[in-house]
Structure 1
Amino acid sequence: MVKSSRYTHGHERATLASHGARTAANSAGYLLPVLRQGMSVLDVGCGPGTITLDLAEIVAPGVVVGIENVEKPLVAARAGAAERGDTRTRFELGDVMALPFEDDSFDIVHAHQVLQHLTDPVGALREMARVAKPGGWVAARDADYAAMAWYPELPELEEWRTIYRRVARGNGAEPDAARRMRTWAQAAGLTDVRYTAGTWNYADSETCRWWGHSQAERYSAELFAEQAGRYGVTGDDLVRIAAGWRAWGEEPDAWFAIVNGELLARLPE
């Protein structure tokens, strides 16, 4: 994340827990076929580092660095590395709009769910390409809120989506990022690009209960309440929406799908 962009979700406990469920397998499958042992990887906006550490295992003994622009998620990432016995992977402060690395530094520059939160995603892609080596790869994956689908179609969840998209755009971000990734890549000057789509799908009782209660906690917390309040959303509104999320999570036939756009660009040799 970048200091010039406000991260709508923040780094509260529920958010970090949700991000901690992400793995290379469930969140970066489109990237895995190009990874090789010994590659160097920069993971931009690494959060609690679960994807970063998975990538590090695949490319070991290559150099892997995860960056965030605030310290809180890095603490969780370093703890995760210690639990795995990973002493090679580094987690550092850094800004995607001004990466603290020389040109041509990494074989892979990866960003998961980052571009959607930025005021200048095109500039971020250009900066990611700058630090990628000739013949290296720029990889990005982002969700699309307008394309999310769920059942049962509780009105509180639709209200949540409307509020979230308004808040995110008020922060200068683009919540419907997936559909814009081709446009952003072209504007950034990336030419040899593959565009794919992947989904997260929640369709069993345990996962839906976790997702529903996690979302309820995230969007009734003080940080989001303060942002939503700028648009006339009250605390009572958020309590009602949180109750809707919990009710959805307890439905025996609950189902939720998140569409993600995936961008994989090869740089010229």
Structure 2
Amino acid sequence: MTSPAGSGSAGKGQHRYTQGHEPATLASHGRRTAQSSCAYLLPVLEPGMRVLDVGCGPGTITLDLAEVVAPGEVVGIEPVAGPLAAARDEAARRGDTTTRFEQADVLALPHDDDSFDVVHAHQVLQHVTDPVTALTEMARVCRPGGWVAARDADYAAMAWFPEVPELDEWRSIYRDVARGNGAEPDAGRRLRGWARAAGLADVRLSTSVWTYADDRSCRWWGESQAERYVGRVFAEQAAEHGVDAEQLARIGDGWWRWSTAPDAWFAVVHGELLARLPLG
């Protein structure tokens, strides 16, 4: 993924990760599984494959993939150390001693050409400053006949009920902040164009949705979002766009209010890209 907001340069891309790697964000990412986050990829995986997981975060998806392709080798990367520590802790908890977690930038991968059978990125392209270069690099390190896979949310396509005004305000601010960082929050709809620009030809495109529509999941989703967007990292970036702490606190209250509504419903729409590289 990208370096945390406010950290300055992080290799070639000099990205800022809009959401930061604060505890609320890592805790949310830590609930992700291969089944919930890359089901479109699972049918092409086989035991013995070598997989690179770009933007591995706290490692839950990475380690799930490792179970699927065992005894193959899986490597997870992040450009900053914080999430890698959480990923290594998760590996230790699971008793996985073979999956590796390394610091690397997707815009300049430190791997040889044709190194992996699968190169995967979940919620990464929306945060990088140059998603076409990211896909080009992912394809470079993927072997002929291998797979490049990416799944990204599309903020403009998100939908919810009840119509809490603070959530509209949240989305507008988030999109402004992300684009101020050189990122693209409406990434899902752009995957086809980015793949074409990166020279990927044999492309399969799909969509999937995370749906929160029961008391427990809505309460978790609303609380998680409230904690993220009143946190220090996002607040510092939002301040650069004229958003003050009082406004963010009001948005946080809106998330809490939405999360306890008896008919709360939220849909996160994702675009999915699965590209097979030519054999030669």
Deviation at 1:70, TM superposition (A): 0.4
Equivalent of 2:96 in 86, 95, 98: 86
Deviation at 1:232, TM superposition (A): 1.1
| Alignment map for 1:55-70 (pairs within 5 Å) | 55-70=65-80
Q: Supply the distance in 1 between the matched residues of 2:175 and 2:20 (Cα, whole angstroms).
A: 15
The runs of at least 4 consecutive aligned structure 1 residues that moved more than 3 Å come to: none
RMSD after superposition: 0.6
Deviation at 1:231, TM superposition (A): 1.3
Equivalent of 2:31 in 4, 11, 21: 21
Q: Supply the distance in 2 between the matched residues of 1:252 and 1:237 (Cα, whole angstroms).
A: 25
Deviation at 1:90, TM superposition (A): 0.3
For residues 99-124 of structure 1, give each alpha carbon's deviation from its aligned partner in whole angstroms, at most 9, with x where no partner exists.
11100000000000000001100000
Q: Supply the distance in 1 between the matched residues of 2:29 and 2:108 (Cα, whole angstroms).
A: 24
| Alignment map for 1:183-198 (pairs within 5 Å) | 183-198=193-208
Pairing 1:54–2:64 present: yes
Deviation at 1:5, TM superposition (A): 1.2
In structure 2, the gaps of 5 or more residues are: 3-9
Aligned residues: 269
For residues 201-253 of structure 1, give each alpha carbon's deviation from its aligned partner in whole angstroms, at most 9, with x where no partner exists.
11111110011011001000111111111111111000000000011111111
Pairing 1:99–2:109 present: yes
For residues 139-175 of structure 1, give each alpha carbon's deviation from its aligned partner in whole angstroms, at most 9, with x where no partner exists.
0000000000000010000000000000000000000
Equivalent of 2:225 in 215, 233, 241: 215
Q: Supply the distance in 1 between the matched residues of 2:95 and 2:40 (Cα, whole angstroms).
A: 26
Pairing 1:142–2:152 present: yes
Deviation at 1:69, TM superposition (A): 0.4
TM-score, with structure 2 as normaliser? 0.95
Give the letter aligned to residue 88 of structure 1.
Answer: T
For residues 13-58 of structure 1, give each alpha carbon's deviation from its aligned partner in whole angstroms, at most 9, with x where no partner exists.
0000110111000000000000000000000000000000000000
Equivalent of 2:120 in 76, 91, 110: 110
Q: Supply the distance in 2 between the matched residues of 1:180 and 1:101 (Cα, whole angstroms).
A: 26
Pairing 1:234–2:244 present: yes
Q: Supply the distance in 1 between the matched residues of 2:217 and 2:26 (Cα, whole angstroms).
A: 16
In structure 1, the gaps of 5 or more residues are: none
Q: Secondary structure at the match of 1:115?
A: coil
| Alignment map for 1:167-178 (pairs within 5 Å) | 167-178=177-188
